[in-house]
């Protein structure tokens, strides 16, 4: 099957899909994106993703390329043309094509690109054993709530984590507090069984998985505390885990070479993964746990 990409109004085989070299996304990373998972052609949590896209665009003063309704239709069409059971939709909007100039162009139309591919969910083994993370300084800018395609600090951190044999980097601010991962949100369970995660705001991306997991936790009677936690707290925590659209809920069992508690996924993490699997219709989310 040849994957089909959507580029500014047209579907093309992915190898022939192109954007202009003066696209501001290419020259300035002047754009935003979303990553949405879909099961059997149906996107999950689409309204939340489209609402976040709208917020990201508004923050950068990029006009929406089309209405949310029209966007939902195009996403549906992209999924129909790429029949993959468990898929990831990548959607990117940039400010458009214009001769290079830092100032916003007056007449550029936003560029919209959509691709679909198989969801790279973690392996059963990663879920069953949990993953290792490395802590690194958070070198990003002050608006991490915008899902910007400008991801250099995230890439450098993720690469460094991989080279250290770790799945993810947990980013630590100037006060020693974990903000989030390079491409995921970060959580601990404290000695009282409370779920602790950095509050939403400009220091983190408000993850869609995060919003769902916090709802599920509250519904299950788990106390949720949205406050920053330090790296030291994380290392002494009863449990730790991370979430993202592609990682689902992934137990963290090592932080900087040190085992979290007894080094196996904790009961609250496993409970939440089961609830998430049920709610999302993705049994993989709890497989191996
Ligand atoms: N990453 N924080 C950061 C910095 C992220 O890049 C992501 C997602 C998240 C989790 O958000 P969500 O639950 O909405 O996926 C948190 C995506 C998957 C990516 O860049 O591929």
Q: Report how far ligand 1's centroid is from the alpha carbon of 34 (Å).
A: 8
Ligand 1 atom nearest to CA at 144: 4
Residue 287: pLDDT over 90:
no
Say yes or no to pLDDT of 288 above 90. Answer: no
Domains, the chain, in order of start with CATH, read: 4-118 (3.30.470.10), 124-286 (3.20.10.10)
Per-residue pLDDT band for 225 (boundaries 50, 70, 90) equals: very high
Residue 273 has pLDDT above 90, yes or no: yes
Ligand 1 pocket: which residues have CB below 6 Å? 35, 154, 180, 183-185, 205, 207-210, 243-246
Task: Give percent of the chain with pLDDT exceeding 70.
Answer: 100
The Å distance, Cα 244 to ligand 1 centre, comes to: 5
pLDDT band, very low/low/confident/very high, at 42 (cuts 50, 70, 90): very high
Please name which of 270, 254, 243, 258 lies closest in space to residue 121, comparing C-alpha atoms: 243
Report d(CA 135, CA 181) in Å as an integer. 9
The β-bridge relationship of strands 239-244 and 185-189 is: antiparallel
Q: By alpha-carbon position, which residue is closest to atom 3 of ligand 1?
A: 183
pLDDT-based confidence at 96, cuts 50/70/90?
Answer: very high
The H or E element that residue 214 is part of is helix 208-219
Q: What is the per-residue pLDDT for 76?
A: 98
pTM above 0.85, yes or no: yes
pLDDT for res 1? 79
Q: How far apart are CA 3 and CA 159, in angstroms?
A: 27
Ligand 1 atom nearest 147 alpha carbon: 6
Nearest ligand 1 atom to the CA of 154 is: 4
pLDDT of residue 289: 82
Mean pLDDT, residues 239-264 taken together: 97
Residue to probe by mutation, ligand 1, list 145, 158, 185, 249, most atoms within 8 Å of CB: 185
The pLDDT tens digits of the residues spanning 80-90 come to 999 999 999 99
CA of 22 to the centre of ligand 1 (A): 27
Q: Which two tokens stand for residue 255?
A: 């932080």
d(CA 257, CA 73): 46
210 pLDDT band, cuts 50/70/90, is very high
- What is the share, in percent, of the chain residues with pLDDT greater than 90? 98
Distance in angstroms (rounded) separating the CA atoms of residues 184 and 86: 19
pLDDT tens digits along 13-29: 999 999 999 999 999 99
Pocket probe for ligand 1: among 145, 207, 242, 272, the residue whose CB has the most ligand atoms within 8 Å is 207
37 catalytically annotated: no
From 184, 201, 282, the mutation candidate for ligand 1 (largest count of ligand atoms within 8 A of CB) is 184
Q: Is 90 exceeded by the pLDDT of residue 173?
A: yes
Q: What is the predicted pLDDT for the residue at 101?
A: 98
Kindly give the distance from the C-alpha atom of residue 152 to the centroid of ligand 1, in angstroms, as a whole number.
14
Residue 106 CA to ligand 1 centre (angstroms): 31
Q: Output the residue whose Cα is nearest ligand 1's atom 1.
A: 183
């Amino acid at each position: 099957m040849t994957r089909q990409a959507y580029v500014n109004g047209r579907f093309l085989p992915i190898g022939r899909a192109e954007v202009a070299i003066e696209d501001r996304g290419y020259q300035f990373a002047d754009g935003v994106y979303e990553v949405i998972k879909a099961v059997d052609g149906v996107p999950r949590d689409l309204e939340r993703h489209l609402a976040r896209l709208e917020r990201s665009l508004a923050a950068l003063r990029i006009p929406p390329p089309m209405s949310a309704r029209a966007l939902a239709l195009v996403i549906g069409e992209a999924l129909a043309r790429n029949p993959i059971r468990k898929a990831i939709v990548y959607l990117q909007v940039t400010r458009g094509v214009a001769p290079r100039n830092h100032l916003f162009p007056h007449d550029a139309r936003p560029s919209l690109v959509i691709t679909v591919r198989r969801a790279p969910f973690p392996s059963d083994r990663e879920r069953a054993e949990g993953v290792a993370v490395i802590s690194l300084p958070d070198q990003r800018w002050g608006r991490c709530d915008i899902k910007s395609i400008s991801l250099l600090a995230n890439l450098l951190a993720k690469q460094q984590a991989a080279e250290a044999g770790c799945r993810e980097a947990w980013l630590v601010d100037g006060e020693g507090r974990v903000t989030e991962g390079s491409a995921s949100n970060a959580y601990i369970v404290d000695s009282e069984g409370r779920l602790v995660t950095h509050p939403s705001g400009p220091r983190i991306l408000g993850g869609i998985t995060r919003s769902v997991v916090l709802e599920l936790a509250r519904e299950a009677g788990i106390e949720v505390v949205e406050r920053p936690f330090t790296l030291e707290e994380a290392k002494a925590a009863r449990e730790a885990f991370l979430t993202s659209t592609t990682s689902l809920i992934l137990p963290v069992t090592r932080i900087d070479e040190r085992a979290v508690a007894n080094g196996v996924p904790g009961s609250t993490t496993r409970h939440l993964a089961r609830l998430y699997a049920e709610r999302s219709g993705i049994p993989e989310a709890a497989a191996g746990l």
